[in-house]
Structure 1
């Protein structure tokens, strides 16, 4: 083989090797692009599924049909003097207030002197690992829809979990409902589907806009009681004309 023939053969081999390398790079590039594209699509699909789930449950504002005061409270009684009570079911001081003032509230309602409006708010979610304040407020709204707000309200306090705990789980919230006569599947579904989560947030935001900074906050005829004892309640109702 002549020298020129060898040189041509060598040049041809070099060209072929370069072409092969280019083909491998092209295949690798498009394989990488394909993998990245699939990962991006999978991420988008996953995000859309989560977003759709959130939108269909806790993101949708559902106001209980029995709620009063711009959909933020549940009323008891029909007397002329309005008592507004802002409570958090995780709050020990709220439990103490209900234990001490509950009988007086009942007497005032039965005497036709007051209308008590309960505002379940959620400001203590940081004291549980499951946002119990929000979940229990939402559960009380479901109980109100079933016509058992006060009974469920009392059951929640009777079974109040300690602060810095997980709080009651959904199964226990449903069980408490059954104990007060909420046996309809709609009540359980409202808790499982977080039907009133957005509502609990709205009630809390409204309370904050009204100047409520802690719980319990008790107002008689629009005036806050600094020390809402049974005696102070009775005196404030009397001063309001009842």
Structure 2
């Protein structure tokens, strides 16, 4: 557990080693590799990576930086971002994550396509609470930069694509982050071209949504979230241990 201070390098290295060991060999012949990965890697998420205490010591300073524009589709500061258009009466799935969190990256690799399917079909209201507490742990702005990049893409309806690309290209070394050039490349790969890419570039360079990003971190703290990834179904924590894609879908949809 990282308590309100930067994670020591040896702890980070040990954390990565455990994740790599847990997922080693899951693509060999035999049982379904997705099931094995779902059982082992998500145990690693909960037992090794997930439990970190949110640190907001730089929130006041961060709140004064960048712009205060709300991303398209968001009605107020602190509100989560809804992916897709949910059907009436659809269950609500809240996902609390930090783009730099290795456990969140594992969650996306194993269950991200299932979440995307649920959001696209509208069978589930998928709400992302994008957090940035790891910026404090690593004394940087990689989480907030990635979050701003995703929400700038949301202005053109490409949040999901940008979100998935950022995770698909998550650095193996926790805290390393992404360069501006990489995030710009992801924006293009997400489908932003021409004037839309120019608008994204301006938004990202000015950090137009930064105060919204800060407000989301503040809101998650008030929600009592102390670990990432945290997944809640209709307001109740969903246990990820021993859960593969099929079990996850059944737990959410019944």
Among 142, 145, 161, the alignment partner of 1:151 is 161
Label 1:194 to 1:93 Cα distance change in 2 as closer, same or farther (>3 A): same
2:132 aligned counterpart, secondary structure: coil
CA distance in 1, matches of 2:80, 2:122: 23
Label 1:138 to 1:107 Cα distance change in 2 as closer, same or farther (>3 A): closer
Gaps of 5+ in 1: 1-53
Q: TM-score, normalised by structure 2?
A: 0.65
The answer to whether the 8 Å contact 1:63/1:71 transfers is no
Q: 1:87: Cα distance to partner?
A: 1.2
1:167 aligned counterpart, secondary structure: coil
Aligned ranges for residues 111-122 of structure 1 at < 5 Å? 112-122=122-132
Gaps of 5+ in 2: 1-60
Q: 1:82: Cα distance to partner?
A: 0.9
Label 1:140 to 1:157 Cα distance change in 2 as closer, same or farther (>3 A): same
Q: 1:203: Cα distance to partner?
A: 0.5
Task: Give the corresponding residue for 2:81.
Answer: 73
Task: Give the corresponding residue for 1:58.
Answer: 65
Q: TM-score, normalised by structure 1?
A: 0.68
Aligned ranges for residues 1-242 of structure 1 at < 5 Å? 58-67=65-74, 71-79=79-87, 80-109=90-119, 112-128=122-138, 130-183=140-193, 184-227=197-240, 229=243, 230-239=245-254
Q: Larger % of helix: which? A: 1
Q: How many residues align?
A: 186
Q: Which has the higher contact order (CA 8 A, sep 6+)?
A: 2
Q: CA RMSD in A?
A: 2.6
CA distance in 2, matches of 1:84, 1:236: 14
Q: Which has the larger Rg?
A: 1
The answer to whether the 8 Å contact 1:74/1:149 transfers is no
